[in-house]
Amino acid sequence: MAEYEWIKKIRDNETLLEESYLTFQSERVRIENQICQLSTKKNQLLQLLDSRQDIVRRYLYSHDRDMTEEFQKLKDMFQQYFNYSDEVYYIERKRLDYEYEKLEEDYQRTKYKIEEKIAEAYREKKKSGG
């Protein structure tokens, strides 16, 4: 193998390795941002539900009515909605975690293959007396 071909082969594979790493990092950041947004939405929903319950409670108490039963029904409805939202959150979080694991596995596999190609090029160079 000519010297320039060997150098080109090494550089091409190193460039490919670097591009693969940069792609992995950008995808990792994207997934981490989605997880953060998901968590923020969950917290916002919880705060919203708490504030709505508080508004209803204050309204009922301000009118001096004993609406314990109605309030309990409303509270149950809020809780049911939150439980549903919480379930959606965990399903989405699980999906993002799986996507991240898959991304990392793919990157490691690609990295290994490229590193093998680089090592092979060095072995070929060594055999040819370079």
Cβ–Cβ under 8 Å, residues 38 and 86: no
Cβ–Cβ contacts within 10 Å for residue 116, how many? 11
pTM flag (> 0.85): no
Measured CA to CA, the distance from residue 106 to residue 122 in angstroms comes to 25
Cβ–Cβ under 8 Å, residues 118 and 14: yes
Cβ–Cβ under 8 Å, residues 21 and 110: no
Determine the residue type at 54.
D
Q: Where are the domains of the chain?
A: 3-127
Per residue of the chain (130 residues), give pLDDT as tens: 577 888 888 899 999 999 999 999 999 999 999 989 988 888 888 888 888 878 777 777 777 666 677 777 777 887 787 777 788 888 988 999 999 999 999 999 999 999 999 899 888 888 887 6
